[in-house]
Amino acid sequence: MLQTVILIDSTHPTRKACKQMPAGEKPDFLQVYRMVGERIRDERKRQNITQDELANEIGLTRTSITNVEKGRQKLLLHTLVQIAAYLGTSPERLLSKSDPDAPVELPEDLSGPVRNWIIHSISSVNATPSRK
């Protein structure tokens, strides 16, 4: 049976994947970064935003944006939130084309504040921030 789940890697809480997979199968995180990078690139290009403009806005270099878009550079959760906000979309849209109501599985050892921050950061679907 396939199910859509959002997984947070317990060793790296910023690594998030959402895909349909058999129970017990772990996601390929490199593939997740490539997928997210492609979505960032597609959204950026759709809005005619240059890599330089996006980089300057969120405090990265153009080379970093290139590497993010190619899935070669890992994103911190707060950087993903910044990119999504600047592009006027949500982190969920960049992370998944599947069910936005998929359950979030967080490691048991996360502190309450970290758990709440992650949930708040990835659940802003209804808020569509606009570019400054």
User: What are 7-23's pLDDT values in tens digits?
Assistant: 444 444 444 444 445 55
User: What are 77-131's pLDDT values in tens digits?
Assistant: 999 999 999 999 989 888 865 545 556 667 777 788 887 877 777 665 444 444 4
Which of these, 15, 21, 22, 18, lies nearest to 6 by C-alpha position? 18
Q: Residue 54 pLDDT more than 60?
A: yes
- Parse the chain into domains and list their residue ranges: 2-122
First vs last Cα of the chain: how many Å apart? 44
**In this structure, which topology does domain 2-122 adopt according to CATH?**
434 Repressor (Amino-terminal Domain) (1.10.260)
Residues 37-64, mean pLDDT to the nearest whole number: 95
Q: What local confidence, expressed as pLDDT, does residue 56 receive?
A: 96
Q: Where are the beta strands (DSSP E) in the chain?
A: 2-8, 16-22, 104-105
Q: What local confidence, expressed as pLDDT, does residue 32 receive?
A: 83
Q: Is the dihedral of CA 53, 54, 59, 63 positive or negative?
A: negative
Q: Residue 52 pLDDT more than 80?
A: yes
Q: What local confidence, expressed as pLDDT, does residue 23 receive?
A: 55
